[in-house]
Structure 1
Amino acid sequence: MYSAAPAAAVAWTELFDWLARESGVTLDVIDHAFPLPLSDLWARRDLAAAFMCGFPFMLSAERPRPVAAPVPSGALYQGRPVYATHLVVRADSRFQSLEDTFGGRLGFTVPDSHSGYNALRHHLVPYFRRHGARLYRESVGPLTTPRRVIAALLDGEIDVGPLDSYALDLILRHDPPLASQIRIVATTDLAPIPFLVAAAACPDDIVAKLQAALRTFATAPACASLRDRLCLDAFAAVQLADYELTLRWDAEARAAGYATPG
Protein backbone atom coordinates (compact mmCIF):
# COMPACT_ATOMS: atom_id res chain seq x y z
CA MET A 1 0.00 0.00 0.00
CA TYR A 2 2.79 2.45 0.84
CA SER A 3 5.43 1.22 -1.59
CA ALA A 4 4.63 4.38 -3.50
CA ALA A 5 8.11 4.70 -5.01
CA PRO A 6 10.83 2.11 -5.70
CA ALA A 7 13.07 3.58 -3.00
CA ALA A 8 10.20 3.50 -0.52
CA ALA A 9 9.63 -0.18 -1.34
CA VAL A 10 13.29 -0.86 -0.57
CA ALA A 11 12.98 0.98 2.74
CA TRP A 12 9.89 -1.03 3.72
CA THR A 13 11.77 -4.24 3.00
CA GLU A 14 14.56 -3.03 5.28
CA LEU A 15 12.04 -2.14 7.97
CA PHE A 16 10.47 -5.61 7.89
CA ASP A 17 13.94 -7.18 7.97
CA TRP A 18 14.68 -5.09 11.07
CA LEU A 19 11.31 -6.06 12.55
CA ALA A 20 12.08 -9.75 12.08
CA ARG A 21 15.46 -9.41 13.81
CA GLU A 22 14.14 -7.24 16.63
CA SER A 23 11.04 -9.32 17.34
CA GLY A 24 12.54 -12.74 16.75
CA VAL A 25 9.65 -13.54 14.38
CA THR A 26 10.66 -14.98 11.02
CA LEU A 27 9.15 -12.80 8.30
CA ASP A 28 9.22 -13.42 4.56
CA VAL A 29 8.75 -10.17 2.65
CA ILE A 30 6.48 -10.74 -0.34
CA ASP A 31 5.81 -8.48 -3.30
CA HIS A 32 2.08 -7.85 -3.66
CA ALA A 33 1.82 -4.95 -6.06
CA PHE A 34 -0.85 -3.68 -8.47
CA PRO A 35 -2.71 -5.27 -10.25
CA LEU A 36 -2.90 -7.91 -7.51
CA PRO A 37 -5.95 -7.10 -5.33
CA LEU A 38 -5.26 -6.06 -1.76
CA SER A 39 -8.20 -8.18 -0.60
CA ASP A 40 -6.17 -11.29 -1.50
CA LEU A 41 -3.29 -10.06 0.66
CA TRP A 42 -5.54 -9.32 3.64
CA ALA A 43 -7.08 -12.80 3.38
CA ARG A 44 -3.76 -14.66 3.65
CA ARG A 45 -3.63 -17.09 6.57
CA ASP A 46 0.10 -16.52 7.08
CA LEU A 47 -0.07 -12.73 7.25
CA ALA A 48 1.97 -11.08 10.02
CA ALA A 49 2.33 -7.41 9.05
CA ALA A 50 0.64 -5.76 6.08
CA PHE A 51 -1.02 -2.38 5.73
CA MET A 52 -4.82 -2.31 5.62
CA CYS A 53 -7.05 0.72 5.20
CA GLY A 54 -9.41 1.28 8.12
CA PHE A 55 -12.51 1.50 5.92
CA PRO A 56 -12.34 -2.05 4.48
CA PHE A 57 -11.21 -3.27 7.90
CA MET A 58 -14.37 -1.94 9.50
CA LEU A 59 -16.49 -3.40 6.69
CA SER A 60 -14.82 -6.81 6.87
CA ALA A 61 -16.80 -9.81 8.12
CA GLU A 62 -13.63 -11.51 9.33
CA ARG A 63 -11.26 -8.84 10.52
CA PRO A 64 -7.49 -9.38 10.66
CA ARG A 65 -5.67 -8.64 13.91
CA PRO A 66 -4.46 -5.05 14.41
CA VAL A 67 -0.72 -4.79 15.01
CA ALA A 68 0.33 -1.12 14.92
CA ALA A 69 -0.43 2.18 13.21
CA PRO A 70 2.22 4.42 11.62
CA VAL A 71 2.73 7.98 12.82
CA PRO A 72 3.89 9.98 9.78
CA SER A 73 6.35 12.86 10.08
CA GLY A 74 5.21 16.41 9.47
CA ALA A 75 3.03 19.15 10.93
CA LEU A 76 -0.14 17.89 9.23
CA TYR A 77 -0.21 14.78 11.41
CA GLN A 78 0.33 16.43 14.80
CA GLY A 79 2.31 13.42 16.07
CA ARG A 80 -0.71 11.14 15.71
CA PRO A 81 -1.52 8.06 13.58
CA VAL A 82 -3.71 10.03 11.17
CA TYR A 83 -3.72 11.12 7.56
CA ALA A 84 -5.78 13.10 5.07
CA THR A 85 -6.62 13.12 1.39
CA HIS A 86 -5.13 15.82 -0.81
CA LEU A 87 -7.19 16.76 -3.87
CA VAL A 88 -4.63 17.38 -6.57
CA VAL A 89 -4.54 18.95 -10.05
CA ARG A 90 -1.85 19.43 -12.65
CA ALA A 91 0.43 22.31 -11.74
CA ASP A 92 -0.09 23.92 -15.16
CA SER A 93 -3.89 23.66 -15.07
CA ARG A 94 -6.20 26.65 -14.78
CA PHE A 95 -7.73 25.35 -11.55
CA GLN A 96 -7.00 27.47 -8.48
CA SER A 97 -9.58 25.95 -6.15
CA LEU A 98 -11.56 22.74 -5.84
CA GLU A 99 -14.69 24.54 -7.00
CA ASP A 100 -12.90 25.40 -10.26
CA THR A 101 -12.74 21.67 -11.07
CA PHE A 102 -16.52 21.17 -10.88
CA GLY A 103 -17.92 20.13 -14.24
CA GLY A 104 -14.68 18.35 -15.11
CA ARG A 105 -13.41 14.80 -14.62
CA LEU A 106 -12.86 13.40 -11.13
CA GLY A 107 -10.62 10.42 -10.46
CA PHE A 108 -11.05 7.90 -7.67
CA THR A 109 -9.12 4.83 -6.50
CA VAL A 110 -11.41 1.96 -5.41
CA PRO A 111 -14.78 1.97 -3.60
CA ASP A 112 -13.40 0.33 -0.45
CA SER A 113 -10.61 2.90 -0.08
CA HIS A 114 -10.99 5.54 2.58
CA SER A 115 -8.51 8.08 1.17
CA GLY A 116 -9.38 7.59 -2.49
CA TYR A 117 -13.15 7.26 -2.18
CA ASN A 118 -14.77 7.57 1.26
CA ALA A 119 -12.90 10.70 2.38
CA LEU A 120 -13.34 12.14 -1.11
CA ARG A 121 -17.13 11.76 -0.86
CA HIS A 122 -17.12 13.21 2.66
CA HIS A 123 -15.32 16.31 1.47
CA LEU A 124 -17.62 16.76 -1.53
CA VAL A 125 -20.96 16.15 0.23
CA PRO A 126 -21.43 19.80 1.37
CA TYR A 127 -20.90 21.00 -2.21
CA PHE A 128 -23.30 18.33 -3.51
CA ARG A 129 -25.97 19.46 -1.05
CA ARG A 130 -25.59 23.08 -2.13
CA HIS A 131 -25.62 22.30 -5.85
CA GLY A 132 -28.36 19.68 -5.63
CA ALA A 133 -26.78 17.79 -8.52
CA ARG A 134 -23.65 15.92 -9.49
CA LEU A 135 -20.53 18.04 -9.35
CA TYR A 136 -18.50 16.42 -12.16
CA ARG A 137 -19.43 15.38 -15.66
CA GLU A 138 -17.41 12.18 -15.31
CA SER A 139 -15.96 9.97 -12.56
CA VAL A 140 -12.90 8.05 -13.72
CA GLY A 141 -11.84 4.86 -11.96
CA PRO A 142 -10.99 2.63 -10.36
CA LEU A 143 -7.47 4.04 -10.65
CA THR A 144 -6.51 1.90 -7.63
CA THR A 145 -3.16 3.41 -6.58
CA PRO A 146 -1.82 6.92 -5.87
CA ARG A 147 0.74 6.52 -8.66
CA ARG A 148 -2.02 5.75 -11.16
CA VAL A 149 -4.00 8.80 -9.96
CA ILE A 150 -0.93 10.95 -10.64
CA ALA A 151 -0.40 9.32 -14.04
CA ALA A 152 -4.04 9.99 -14.97
CA LEU A 153 -3.60 13.65 -13.99
CA LEU A 154 -0.40 14.12 -15.95
CA ASP A 155 -1.81 12.28 -18.99
CA GLY A 156 -4.87 14.54 -19.02
CA GLU A 157 -7.34 11.73 -18.28
CA ILE A 158 -8.69 13.48 -15.16
CA ASP A 159 -8.78 17.06 -13.93
CA VAL A 160 -8.57 16.35 -10.20
CA GLY A 161 -7.82 13.28 -8.13
CA PRO A 162 -7.44 12.15 -4.50
CA LEU A 163 -4.07 11.29 -3.00
CA ASP A 164 -3.42 9.70 0.38
CA SER A 165 -1.33 12.39 2.10
CA TYR A 166 1.20 9.95 3.54
CA ALA A 167 1.59 8.17 0.19
CA LEU A 168 2.21 11.57 -1.41
CA ASP A 169 4.82 12.36 1.26
CA LEU A 170 6.67 9.18 0.29
CA ILE A 171 6.38 9.85 -3.43
CA LEU A 172 7.73 13.39 -3.12
CA ARG A 173 10.48 12.29 -0.71
CA HIS A 174 11.83 9.92 -3.36
CA ASP A 175 10.76 11.78 -6.53
CA PRO A 176 11.19 15.50 -5.69
CA PRO A 177 10.78 16.78 -9.30
CA LEU A 178 7.16 15.62 -9.23
CA ALA A 179 6.35 18.46 -6.82
CA SER A 180 6.58 20.92 -9.72
CA GLN A 181 4.06 18.95 -11.80
CA ILE A 182 1.12 18.71 -9.40
CA ARG A 183 -0.67 21.11 -7.07
CA ILE A 184 -2.93 20.60 -4.05
CA VAL A 185 -6.22 22.53 -4.23
CA ALA A 186 -7.93 21.07 -1.14
CA THR A 187 -7.29 18.74 1.78
CA THR A 188 -9.89 16.68 3.63
CA ASP A 189 -10.36 16.38 7.36
CA LEU A 190 -7.93 14.09 9.17
CA ALA A 191 -8.87 10.45 9.71
CA PRO A 192 -7.19 7.44 11.36
CA ILE A 193 -4.46 6.05 9.11
CA PRO A 194 -4.17 2.55 7.56
CA PHE A 195 -2.43 0.20 9.96
CA LEU A 196 -0.46 -3.02 10.02
CA VAL A 197 -2.53 -6.17 10.45
CA ALA A 198 -1.87 -9.87 10.96
CA ALA A 199 -4.08 -12.79 10.00
CA ALA A 200 -7.09 -13.36 12.26
CA ALA A 201 -5.56 -16.66 13.42
CA CYS A 202 -2.08 -15.23 14.08
CA PRO A 203 -1.01 -16.39 17.57
CA ASP A 204 -1.11 -13.91 20.44
CA ASP A 205 2.60 -14.25 21.17
CA ILE A 206 3.55 -13.41 17.57
CA VAL A 207 1.40 -10.28 17.56
CA ALA A 208 2.79 -9.24 20.96
CA LYS A 209 6.40 -9.64 19.80
CA LEU A 210 5.76 -7.56 16.66
CA GLN A 211 4.04 -4.85 18.68
CA ALA A 212 6.84 -4.71 21.22
CA ALA A 213 9.47 -4.33 18.51
CA LEU A 214 7.52 -1.64 16.66
CA ARG A 215 7.20 0.38 19.87
CA THR A 216 10.99 0.81 19.78
CA PHE A 217 11.08 2.05 16.17
CA ALA A 218 10.87 5.73 17.15
CA THR A 219 14.13 5.67 19.12
CA ALA A 220 16.07 2.72 17.72
CA PRO A 221 19.43 3.99 16.37
CA ALA A 222 19.31 1.32 13.65
CA CYS A 223 16.09 2.90 12.33
CA ALA A 224 17.30 6.50 11.96
CA SER A 225 17.72 6.23 8.20
CA LEU A 226 14.42 4.35 7.87
CA ARG A 227 12.57 7.06 9.77
CA ASP A 228 13.89 9.59 7.26
CA ARG A 229 13.30 7.52 4.13
CA LEU A 230 9.84 6.43 5.23
CA CYS A 231 8.79 9.91 6.47
CA LEU A 232 7.79 8.14 9.65
CA ASP A 233 8.19 9.09 13.31
CA ALA A 234 6.84 6.06 15.15
CA PHE A 235 4.30 3.27 15.39
CA ALA A 236 1.36 3.56 17.79
CA ALA A 237 -1.26 1.23 19.22
CA VAL A 238 -4.35 0.85 17.02
CA GLN A 239 -7.44 2.43 18.57
CA LEU A 240 -10.26 0.66 16.74
CA ALA A 241 -12.93 3.02 18.08
CA ASP A 242 -11.30 5.83 16.07
CA TYR A 243 -12.03 3.96 12.84
CA GLU A 244 -15.78 4.19 13.42
CA LEU A 245 -15.31 7.59 11.75
CA THR A 246 -14.93 5.86 8.37
CA LEU A 247 -18.34 4.23 8.75
CA ARG A 248 -19.95 7.50 9.83
CA TRP A 249 -18.59 9.29 6.77
CA ASP A 250 -19.88 6.49 4.55
CA ALA A 251 -23.34 6.62 6.15
CA GLU A 252 -23.51 10.40 5.87
CA ALA A 253 -22.66 10.35 2.16
CA ARG A 254 -25.23 7.65 1.44
CA ALA A 255 -27.90 9.47 3.45
CA ALA A 256 -27.23 12.57 1.35
CA GLY A 257 -27.75 10.55 -1.85
CA TYR A 258 -24.07 10.80 -2.73
CA ALA A 259 -23.01 7.15 -2.69
CA THR A 260 -20.60 7.59 -5.61
CA PRO A 261 -18.23 10.58 -5.78
CA GLY A 262 -18.76 12.67 -8.86
Structure 2
Amino acid sequence: MTGGARPSTLYYVANARMYSGVPAAAAAWTELFDWLARESGIALDVIDHAFPLPLSDLWARRDLGAAFMCGFPFMLAADRPRPVAAPVPFGALYGGMPVYATRLVVRADSRFRSLEDTFGGRLGFTVPDSHSGYNALRHHLLPHYRQRGANLYRESVGPLTTPGRVIRALLDDEIDVGPLDSYALDLMLRHDPLLDSQIRIVATTDLAPIPFLVAAGGCPDDVIAALQTALWGFAAAPACASLRERLCLDAFAAVDLASYELTLRWDAEARAAGYAQPG
Protein backbone atom coordinates (compact mmCIF):
# COMPACT_ATOMS: atom_id res chain seq x y z
CA MET A 1 0.00 0.00 0.00
CA THR A 2 3.03 2.24 -0.05
CA GLY A 3 5.52 3.21 -2.71
CA GLY A 4 9.26 3.64 -2.67
CA ALA A 5 10.18 6.64 -0.53
CA ARG A 6 13.32 8.56 0.18
CA PRO A 7 15.11 6.85 3.10
CA SER A 8 14.87 9.93 5.32
CA THR A 9 11.16 10.52 4.68
CA LEU A 10 8.51 9.73 7.28
CA TYR A 11 5.37 7.91 6.29
CA TYR A 12 2.31 10.04 5.59
CA VAL A 13 -1.24 8.76 5.49
CA ALA A 14 -3.54 8.94 2.47
CA ASN A 15 -7.30 8.47 2.20
CA ALA A 16 -10.01 8.97 -0.44
CA ARG A 17 -13.10 8.19 1.64
CA MET A 18 -15.12 10.99 0.07
CA TYR A 19 -14.82 9.33 -3.34
CA SER A 20 -14.70 5.66 -2.35
CA GLY A 21 -18.43 4.94 -2.30
CA VAL A 22 -18.03 1.52 -3.93
CA PRO A 23 -15.20 -1.02 -3.45
CA ALA A 24 -13.89 -0.74 -7.03
CA ALA A 25 -13.48 3.03 -6.67
CA ALA A 26 -11.72 2.59 -3.33
CA ALA A 27 -9.34 0.09 -4.94
CA ALA A 28 -8.60 2.53 -7.77
CA TRP A 29 -7.75 5.30 -5.30
CA THR A 30 -5.39 2.94 -3.50
CA GLU A 31 -3.66 2.30 -6.83
CA LEU A 32 -3.42 6.03 -7.43
CA PHE A 33 -1.86 6.66 -4.04
CA ASP A 34 0.62 3.83 -4.67
CA TRP A 35 1.54 5.45 -7.98
CA LEU A 36 1.80 8.85 -6.29
CA ALA A 37 4.16 7.45 -3.66
CA ARG A 38 6.42 5.95 -6.32
CA GLU A 39 6.45 9.06 -8.49
CA SER A 40 6.91 11.56 -5.67
CA GLY A 41 9.27 9.60 -3.45
CA ILE A 42 6.95 10.30 -0.51
CA ALA A 43 5.93 7.23 1.48
CA LEU A 44 2.14 7.08 1.66
CA ASP A 45 0.25 4.67 3.88
CA VAL A 46 -3.32 4.25 2.60
CA ILE A 47 -5.56 4.00 5.66
CA ASP A 48 -9.22 3.21 6.25
CA HIS A 49 -11.27 5.96 7.84
CA ALA A 50 -14.79 4.78 7.17
CA PHE A 51 -18.13 5.98 8.49
CA PRO A 52 -18.97 6.49 11.34
CA LEU A 53 -15.49 7.90 12.03
CA PRO A 54 -15.70 11.70 11.60
CA LEU A 55 -13.84 13.21 8.68
CA SER A 56 -12.75 16.06 10.95
CA ASP A 57 -10.49 13.59 12.78
CA LEU A 58 -8.85 12.60 9.49
CA TRP A 59 -8.30 16.21 8.45
CA ALA A 60 -6.70 17.00 11.82
CA ARG A 61 -4.06 14.25 11.63
CA ARG A 62 -0.52 15.55 11.95
CA ASP A 63 0.76 12.81 9.60
CA LEU A 64 -1.74 13.55 6.83
CA GLY A 65 -0.23 13.51 3.35
CA ALA A 66 -3.17 13.32 0.97
CA ALA A 67 -6.88 13.17 1.78
CA PHE A 68 -9.94 14.75 0.22
CA MET A 69 -11.53 17.67 2.03
CA CYS A 70 -14.65 19.59 1.07
CA GLY A 71 -14.04 23.29 0.44
CA PHE A 72 -16.82 24.44 2.79
CA PRO A 73 -15.38 22.97 6.02
CA PHE A 74 -11.92 24.01 4.82
CA MET A 75 -13.04 27.62 4.60
CA LEU A 76 -14.76 27.38 7.99
CA ALA A 77 -11.75 25.80 9.72
CA ALA A 78 -9.70 27.79 12.20
CA ASP A 79 -6.65 25.56 11.67
CA ARG A 80 -6.58 24.64 8.01
CA PRO A 81 -4.60 21.79 6.49
CA ARG A 82 -2.42 22.51 3.45
CA PRO A 83 -3.92 22.32 -0.04
CA VAL A 84 -2.21 19.87 -2.37
CA ALA A 85 -4.25 19.46 -5.58
CA ALA A 86 -7.81 19.42 -6.89
CA PRO A 87 -9.22 16.69 -9.14
CA VAL A 88 -10.57 17.53 -12.59
CA PRO A 89 -13.35 15.02 -13.35
CA PHE A 90 -14.07 14.15 -16.96
CA GLY A 91 -17.44 14.85 -18.52
CA ALA A 92 -19.35 17.70 -20.12
CA LEU A 93 -20.63 18.98 -16.77
CA TYR A 94 -17.13 19.92 -15.61
CA GLY A 95 -15.72 21.61 -18.71
CA GLY A 96 -12.17 20.54 -17.92
CA MET A 97 -12.20 22.46 -14.62
CA PRO A 98 -11.80 21.38 -10.96
CA VAL A 99 -15.50 21.86 -10.22
CA TYR A 100 -18.53 19.80 -9.32
CA ALA A 101 -22.24 20.11 -8.61
CA THR A 102 -24.91 18.45 -6.52
CA ARG A 103 -27.28 16.06 -8.23
CA LEU A 104 -30.71 15.89 -6.62
CA VAL A 105 -31.96 12.35 -7.03
CA VAL A 106 -35.13 10.34 -6.46
CA ARG A 107 -35.98 6.68 -6.79
CA ALA A 108 -36.30 5.63 -10.41
CA ASP A 109 -39.75 4.17 -9.78
CA SER A 110 -41.08 7.22 -7.93
CA ARG A 111 -43.84 9.49 -9.23
CA PHE A 112 -41.54 12.55 -9.09
CA ARG A 113 -40.59 14.05 -12.46
CA SER A 114 -39.18 17.36 -11.25
CA LEU A 115 -37.68 18.76 -8.07
CA GLU A 116 -40.86 20.75 -7.49
CA ASP A 117 -42.81 17.48 -7.45
CA THR A 118 -40.92 16.49 -4.29
CA PHE A 119 -41.98 19.58 -2.32
CA GLY A 120 -44.09 18.58 0.67
CA GLY A 121 -42.21 15.30 0.96
CA ARG A 122 -39.07 14.16 2.78
CA LEU A 123 -35.69 15.72 2.00
CA GLY A 124 -32.41 14.04 2.91
CA PHE A 125 -29.18 15.87 3.72
CA THR A 126 -25.67 14.77 4.65
CA VAL A 127 -24.03 16.98 7.32
CA PRO A 128 -24.22 20.74 7.99
CA ASP A 129 -20.57 21.34 7.06
CA SER A 130 -20.91 19.59 3.69
CA HIS A 131 -21.10 21.76 0.61
CA SER A 132 -22.65 19.25 -1.79
CA GLY A 133 -24.97 17.63 0.73
CA TYR A 134 -26.13 20.73 2.59
CA ASN A 135 -24.81 24.14 1.50
CA ALA A 136 -25.31 23.71 -2.27
CA LEU A 137 -28.62 21.94 -1.66
CA ARG A 138 -29.85 24.87 0.44
CA HIS A 139 -28.60 27.39 -2.14
CA HIS A 140 -30.51 25.59 -4.90
CA LEU A 141 -33.71 25.53 -2.84
CA LEU A 142 -33.41 29.12 -1.62
CA PRO A 143 -35.34 30.79 -4.49
CA HIS A 144 -38.24 28.38 -3.91
CA TYR A 145 -38.09 29.05 -0.17
CA ARG A 146 -38.22 32.80 -0.78
CA GLN A 147 -41.14 32.42 -3.16
CA ARG A 148 -43.16 30.34 -0.71
CA GLY A 149 -42.03 32.10 2.43
CA ALA A 150 -41.97 28.78 4.22
CA ASN A 151 -40.17 25.44 4.28
CA LEU A 152 -40.61 23.31 1.18
CA TYR A 153 -40.61 19.87 2.81
CA ARG A 154 -42.59 18.36 5.64
CA GLU A 155 -39.48 16.60 6.94
CA SER A 156 -35.69 16.98 6.69
CA VAL A 157 -33.92 13.68 7.29
CA GLY A 158 -30.29 13.62 8.40
CA PRO A 159 -27.48 13.71 8.97
CA LEU A 160 -27.09 10.88 6.45
CA THR A 161 -23.37 11.75 6.21
CA THR A 162 -22.30 9.82 3.10
CA PRO A 163 -23.53 9.54 -0.52
CA GLY A 164 -24.00 5.82 -0.01
CA ARG A 165 -26.32 6.40 2.92
CA VAL A 166 -28.30 8.97 0.91
CA ILE A 167 -28.87 6.32 -1.77
CA ARG A 168 -29.77 3.71 0.83
CA ALA A 169 -32.31 6.08 2.41
CA LEU A 170 -33.88 6.61 -1.02
CA LEU A 171 -34.07 2.93 -1.84
CA ASP A 172 -35.45 2.12 1.63
CA ASP A 173 -38.15 4.79 1.14
CA GLU A 174 -36.93 6.87 4.09
CA ILE A 175 -36.60 10.01 1.95
CA ASP A 176 -38.15 11.19 -1.32
CA VAL A 177 -35.19 13.19 -2.64
CA GLY A 178 -31.56 13.53 -1.64
CA PRO A 179 -28.32 15.30 -2.66
CA LEU A 180 -25.32 13.56 -4.20
CA ASP A 181 -21.89 14.99 -5.00
CA SER A 182 -21.85 14.74 -8.81
CA TYR A 183 -18.32 13.32 -8.98
CA ALA A 184 -19.06 10.77 -6.25
CA LEU A 185 -22.14 9.77 -8.24
CA ASP A 186 -20.08 9.47 -11.44
CA LEU A 187 -17.81 6.99 -9.68
CA MET A 188 -20.68 4.98 -8.23
CA LEU A 189 -22.42 4.77 -11.60
CA ARG A 190 -19.16 3.74 -13.28
CA HIS A 191 -18.61 0.84 -10.87
CA ASP A 192 -22.17 -0.16 -9.95
CA PRO A 193 -24.13 -0.76 -13.19
CA LEU A 194 -27.35 -1.54 -11.30
CA LEU A 195 -27.48 1.90 -9.69
CA ASP A 196 -28.48 3.69 -12.90
CA SER A 197 -31.75 1.76 -12.97
CA GLN A 198 -32.51 2.49 -9.31
CA ILE A 199 -32.24 6.29 -9.10
CA ARG A 200 -33.07 9.28 -11.29
CA ILE A 201 -31.68 12.83 -11.36
CA VAL A 202 -34.36 15.53 -11.16
CA ALA A 203 -32.15 18.62 -10.73
CA THR A 204 -28.53 19.77 -10.72
CA THR A 205 -27.18 22.71 -8.74
CA ASP A 206 -24.83 25.42 -9.93
CA LEU A 207 -21.18 24.43 -10.20
CA ALA A 208 -18.77 25.03 -7.32
CA PRO A 209 -15.07 24.34 -6.70
CA ILE A 210 -14.53 20.65 -5.98
CA PRO A 211 -13.17 18.98 -2.79
CA PHE A 212 -9.40 18.76 -2.97
CA LEU A 213 -6.48 16.79 -1.55
CA VAL A 214 -4.98 18.26 1.59
CA ALA A 215 -1.99 17.50 3.80
CA ALA A 216 -1.36 18.31 7.46
CA GLY A 217 -0.84 21.94 8.34
CA GLY A 218 2.72 21.15 9.39
CA CYS A 219 3.60 19.11 6.31
CA PRO A 220 6.97 20.33 4.96
CA ASP A 221 7.16 22.38 1.78
CA ASP A 222 9.32 19.81 0.00
CA VAL A 223 6.78 17.05 0.64
CA ILE A 224 3.93 19.19 -0.73
CA ALA A 225 6.03 20.12 -3.76
CA ALA A 226 6.95 16.51 -4.50
CA LEU A 227 3.32 15.39 -4.31
CA GLN A 228 2.20 18.25 -6.55
CA THR A 229 4.88 17.63 -9.15
CA ALA A 230 3.81 14.01 -9.42
CA LEU A 231 0.10 14.88 -9.60
CA TRP A 232 0.67 17.43 -12.37
CA GLY A 233 2.00 14.51 -14.43
CA PHE A 234 -1.02 12.26 -13.82
CA ALA A 235 -2.96 13.45 -16.90
CA ALA A 236 -0.27 12.36 -19.36
CA ALA A 237 1.27 9.39 -17.54
CA PRO A 238 0.90 6.24 -19.69
CA ALA A 239 0.87 4.14 -16.53
CA CYS A 240 -2.26 5.98 -15.36
CA ALA A 241 -4.44 5.46 -18.44
CA SER A 242 -6.55 2.78 -16.75
CA LEU A 243 -6.71 4.77 -13.52
CA ARG A 244 -7.97 7.85 -15.35
CA GLU A 245 -10.81 5.80 -16.81
CA ARG A 246 -11.68 3.98 -13.57
CA LEU A 247 -11.54 7.20 -11.57
CA CYS A 248 -13.52 9.22 -14.16
CA LEU A 249 -10.68 11.70 -13.86
CA ASP A 250 -8.85 13.85 -16.40
CA ALA A 251 -6.17 15.50 -14.28
CA PHE A 252 -5.21 17.27 -11.08
CA ALA A 253 -5.03 21.06 -10.90
CA ALA A 254 -3.72 23.70 -8.53
CA VAL A 255 -6.11 24.70 -5.75
CA ASP A 256 -7.46 28.24 -6.18
CA LEU A 257 -8.47 29.06 -2.60
CA ALA A 258 -10.14 32.33 -3.59
CA SER A 259 -12.73 30.38 -5.60
CA TYR A 260 -13.88 28.60 -2.44
CA GLU A 261 -15.15 31.90 -1.04
CA LEU A 262 -18.27 31.02 -3.04
CA THR A 263 -19.17 28.40 -0.42
CA LEU A 264 -19.19 31.06 2.31
CA ARG A 265 -21.25 33.44 0.17
CA TRP A 266 -23.90 30.79 -0.42
CA ASP A 267 -24.00 30.03 3.30
CA ALA A 268 -24.32 33.71 4.27
CA GLU A 269 -27.04 34.30 1.68
CA ALA A 270 -29.17 31.43 2.98
CA ARG A 271 -28.72 32.42 6.62
CA ALA A 272 -29.61 36.03 5.86
CA ALA A 273 -32.87 34.78 4.37
CA GLY A 274 -33.62 32.77 7.50
CA TYR A 275 -33.04 29.47 5.71
CA ALA A 276 -30.41 27.90 7.99
CA GLN A 277 -31.33 24.27 7.30
CA PRO A 278 -32.50 22.92 3.93
CA GLY A 279 -36.07 21.76 4.16
Q: Determine the structure 2 residue equivalent to 1:200.
A: 217
Q: Which runs of 5+ in 2 are unaligned?
A: 1-17
Q: Determine the structure 2 residue equivalent to 1:161.
A: 178
Distance in 1, Cα, partners of 2:93 & 2:193: 19
Shift of 1:100: 0.4
Opposite residue 148 of structure 2, the aligned amino acid is H
* 1:94 partner SS: coil
Stretches of 4+ aligned residues off by more than 2 angstroms: none
Q: Percent of aligned pairs with the same residue?
A: 85
Which residue among 76, 79, 85 is the counterpart of 2:102? 85
Which residue among 194, 211, 235 is the counterpart of 1:177? 194
Q: Does 1:139 align with 2:156?
A: yes
Q: Determine the structure 2 residue equivalent to 1:231.
A: 248
Q: Does 1:11 align with 2:28?
A: yes
How many residues of Structure 1 are paired with residues of Structure 2 in the alignment? 262
Q: Which runs of 5+ in 1 are unaligned?
A: none
Distance in 1, Cα, partners of 2:149 & 2:116: 15
* 1:218 partner SS: helix
Shift of 1:259: 0.4
Distance in 2, Cα, partners of 1:9 & 1:182: 22
Q: Determine the structure 1 residue equivalent to 2:58.
A: 41
Opposite residue 206 of structure 2, the aligned amino acid is D
Post-superposition CA distance 1:160-210 (Å, at most 9, x none): 000000000000000011101100000000000000000000000000000
Post-superposition CA distance 1:5-63 (Å, at most 9, x none): 10000000000000000000011110111111000000000001000000000000000
Post-superposition CA distance 1:66-112 (Å, at most 9, x none): 00000001000000000000000001100000000000000000000
* 1:189 partner SS: coil
**TM-score, normalisation: structure 2:** 0.94
CA RMSD of aligned residues (A): 0.4
Q: Does 1:251 align with 2:265?
A: no
Listed as ranges, the matches of 1:206-225 within 5 Å are 206-225=223-242
**TM-score, normalisation: structure 1:** 1.00
Q: Determine the structure 2 residue equivalent to 1:96.
A: 113
Distance in 1, Cα, partners of 2:116 & 2:277: 18
Distance in 1, Cα, partners of 2:193 & 2:132: 22
Q: Which of 1 and 2 has higher RCO (CA within 8 Å, sep 6+)?
A: 1
